[in-house]
Amino acid sequence: MSVPPPGRLIAAHEEAAGFYGRQLPGALPALRYLNSRDIIAATAHRAPWTLGYAPGGWTALRDHLHERGYTDAELLAAGLVTTARTGNVIDIFRERVMFPIRRTDDGAVIAFTGRDVSDWPGAPKYRNTVTTPIYRKRDHLYGLAELTARDLPPAAVFVVEGPADVVALARLGTSTGPCAAVAPCGTALTAEQVAALREAVPAGTPLVLALDADYAGRTATDRAYELLRDWPGPLEAVALPAATDPAELVVRGRDAAEHFLEHHRQPLADLLISQRLTRHRLDEVPGQIAALRHVAPLVADTAARDTAHASALCADLAERLRLDPLTVLEAVYPTPEEPPPQPAARQRETFAVGLTRLPDARLPGVEYAYHCPPDRSAAVRVHHDPSTGITAWVLTEGLTDAPADRVAAHLAADIAARTAPSIGARNAIELARTAVNARFSRPGIEQGDAMIAVLTSASATSTRRLTVAWAGKITAYGATTRSFTTLTGHPTADPTATVRSGSIRVNYIDRPYTQIAISGHGCVHLPAASIRELVEGRPPDLALEELQRAAPSANMVVVRIRATAPQVAAQGRNATTSRGPAPALPAVPHRRTADGHGLNPAATQHR
C-alpha cells in the first residue's frame, strides 16, 4: 500500500486541530484541567496555541474526517487513528486535552500530544502521536514553533516537562523581557531537539532547565547536561519546590512565579553538583572522595566556560567536603599521564609540607634552572601538559618566613603550576587565590599569604610566544639578542598585591625573547642592568650561580628558549618521522653554590 503524500497528512492534522478546538468550549473536564494550570479559556482558544479536546467515543474524529473525504488509510498513516483488536479503526485520542505540535518553518500542525482527563484507571497521563512520514518525536519540541513565530526574541528559554507548563510560562516575563518555554513530548531531550533549539534562538540566549523535582526530573536534568554543555549562552537551571511543576508556580501567583523563576536560577553545573553530592556519605572520607570524583568533571567543564566561577566551585567543594583545596584541584585538573623521567634528566626537590611534587617539564628547545632551597618560605614549580604542549614555571614567596606564609606559598605554587598550562597564567593565579583564601578561611587559624609569578610557554599553534602573570613583588626580565626588558613592571608598582588579594597583572609577550629570568624579593636591590650582566649569554645553571653570588638570599628561575613553539613542534615531527627516537638526556653534574644549597641543573633535551 502506497504512503499518502505528506501534504495530505498535514491537511488531515489541520482539520483534526480545528475539530478538537470546536469541542473545547463545552468540555467541562478539559476546562477544569486547564484552569488548574492557570490556562484560561481565552489563552487556550487564541493563536498561537489553539488547544482542543478529543471527545469520548470511539470514532468521533474518524467519522468527522470521513465526512471531509479522508480515507482510513490516510488517517492511519497520519497517526490519528489506530486499528483495534476487533479490527475496527478507532480514534487514538479520546477524552484528552489536545496540544497541537507544529512545524517551525511554517507552523503547520504535524502531531498532537494529549493529556488525559478521563480519570480512567490505567489510562496513560499523556499520549503522543506515533512516528509518521511527517513526524518523529525526537526531532520536535512542543512550543518551539510558537517561539519562533514571536516578533521579539525571548529573554530566556525554559525547558520543561509538559505542554501545559509551556503554555503557562508563555504568559510570564523577566526584568529583561518575555519568557518562552519548550517541552519534549514522549521522550527525553535529544540531540536533534537541542540542534533545532540552537537554530531557532539567537546565540547568547539563556537556556534554563525547569524540570520537576522528583527522581525522574533529576535524572532528566543530569542526562540533559551532556547534550547542553556546549550551549552558546548561559546554561542554567531552577530547583523547583518538591511536588511542584512550573505551571503550579503560575497558579500560586503570576508575580510570585516570575520572581521565583528569575531569582532562583543558578548555573546548571551548580545544581547538578548539589544533586550528585546528596548521593554520597559526606560524613566519612570514602564518601567525600567518591563525591569529589563524581562532581570533578562538572567543575572542569565549568572552567572551560568561566574560570572564576570554577574557582569558586573548587573553594566551595573544599569546604563542603572538608578536603584540602589542593586535593580538589588535583581531581578537577588531573595530571596527564607522562612517561617516567630519565634518571639523568635533573634532580628533584623534596618538600616537607605534605604536598605532591608536580612533574617537571621535558621540552625540546628549552632549558631552565631554578634556585629555591626547600627550607625557605618560597616555592618553585615547573609543569608541562602534553595535551596542550604548554609549560608553566611558577615562583612564589611568602610575605614572611612564618609557617603560615610558607604553606600559602607552596599551596599557591602547586595549584598555579598544575592549572596554568590548561587555563592560562592569570586564571591559574585566580584559582590559586581562591584555594589559598579557602585554606585560611577557618576561624582561629594563623593567616598566611604569598606573592606569585607564573610564566607559560605557547602551544605549537599559537602566535603568542610567552605569557607572564604576577601578583606582588616578584619580577620577570626578558632578554633578546639586542635588549633586556622588565616584563612585570617595577616591583613597587602595586605593593599591596598578593596571592590572596590585590590586582593580578598579565603581560602577553610576542617579542622573540631567548632568556627569561624570574627573581623574588631578594633581588629587588639589583638594578636591571646588573641582572642583565649576570644572566645574558649564559646557560641557565651558570646564570643562577652568578645571580646567587650577587643576591644569596634570592629565589629565582632562569629559562632559556632555544626555539619557538612551532619550531619545537617541527622538531618533534622530524624526530618521529625521519630520525627515530630522541637520544637519552645527557647527565648534568649537580652543582653546589657557595651557601651549600643544591643548584638544580638545567633540564635540556637535545634534538
Residue 443's pLDDT is what? Answer: 76
Which of 544, 536, 533 lies closest to 370 in space, CA to CA? 544
Q: What is the DSSP string of 491-512?
A: TTSSTT--SSSS--EEEEE-S-
Residue 335's pLDDT is what? Answer: 61
239, containing H or E segment: none
CA dist list (Å): 267 to 245, 274, 278 = 19, 11, 18
- Residue 12 reports pLDDT greater than 90: yes
Residue 274's pLDDT is what? Answer: 93
Residue 397's pLDDT is what? Answer: 95
Residue 411 · residue 356 · CB < 8 Å: no
Q: What is the separation of C-alpha 380 from the centre of its chain, rounded to a whole number of angstroms? A: 30
- Residue 251 reports pLDDT greater than 50: yes
Which of 543, 565, 395, 535 lies closest to 470 in space, CA to CA? 395
- Residue 29 reports pLDDT greater than 50: yes
Q: What's the average model confidence in pLDDT over 2-24?
A: 95
Between vectors from CA 283 to CA 279 and to CA 285, what angle results, nearest 5°?
Answer: 90
Burial (0-12, 13-18, 19+ Cβ within 10 Å), 320: middle
- Residue 562 reports pLDDT greater than 80: no
Q: At residue 452, what is the residue type?
A: I
- Residue 600 reports pLDDT greater than 70: no
Low-confidence winner among 40-54, 140-154, 240-254, 555-569 (lowest mean pLDDT): 555-569
- Residue 399 reports pLDDT greater than 60: yes
- Residue 582 reports pLDDT greater than 60: no
- pTM (2 decimals)? 0.70
Which of 80, 89, 96, 106 lies closest to 15 in space, CA to CA? 80
Residue 310 · residue 332 · CB < 8 Å: yes
Q: How is residue 105 written as a grid cell?
A: 518553518
pLDDT, tens digit, 9 for 90 and up, residues 216-243: 888 888 899 999 989 999 999 998 888 8
- Residue 352 reports pLDDT greater than 70: no
Give residue 491's pLDDT band: very low, low, confident or very high (50, 70, 90).
Answer: low
Q: How is residue 307 written as a grid cell?
A: 574560570
Q: How is residue 327 written as a grid cell?
A: 586535593
Give residue 551's pLDDT band: very low, low, confident or very high (50, 70, 90).
Answer: confident
Give residue 41's pLDDT band: very low, low, confident or very high (50, 70, 90).
Answer: confident
- Residue 400 reports pLDDT greater than 90: yes
- Residue 362 reports pLDDT greater than 80: no
Residue 462's pLDDT is what? Answer: 60
Q: What share of the chain is helix, strand, coil (3-state, %, to 5)?
A: 40, 20, 40
- Residue 97 reports pLDDT greater than 90: yes
* Strand segments (E) across 336-449: 366-371, 378-385, 390-398
Mean pLDDT rounded to a whole number for the chain: 83
Residue 513's pLDDT is what? Answer: 87
pLDDT, tens digit, 9 for 90 and up, residues 378-393: 999 998 888 788 899 9
By percentage, how much of the chain surpasses pLDDT 90? 49
- Please state at what angle helix 285-305 crosses helix 268-277, rounded to 10 degrees: 170
Burial (0-12, 13-18, 19+ Cβ within 10 Å), 394: buried
CA dist list (Å): 339 to 11, 261, 270, 361, 382 = 66, 51, 36, 12, 16
- Residue 501 reports pLDDT greater than 60: yes
For residue 6, is the peptide bond before it cis, meaning its omega torsion is within 30 degrees of 0? no
The residue ranking higher by pLDDT, 465 or 276, is 276
Residues contacting 383, CB < 8 A, separation 6+: 358, 359, 360, 361, 391, 392, 394, 417, 418, 420, 421
Q: Is 270 helix (H, G, I), strand (E, B) or coil?
A: helix
- Residue 341 reports pLDDT greater than 70: no
Sign of CA dihedral 64, 69, 72, 75: negative
Residue 293's pLDDT is what? Answer: 93
Residue 464's pLDDT is what? Answer: 61
76 — phi, psi (to 5°)? -65, -40
Between vectors from CA 268 to CA 264 and to CA 270, what angle results, nearest 5°?
Answer: 80
The residue ranking higher by pLDDT, 29 or 315, is 29
Could you tell me which residues are beta bridge partners of residue 467? 456, 508
Give residue 193's pLDDT band: very low, low, confident or very high (50, 70, 90).
Answer: very high
- Residue 591 reports pLDDT greater than 50: no
Q: DSSP state, 563?
A: S
Q: What's the average model confidence in pLDDT over 384-408?
A: 91
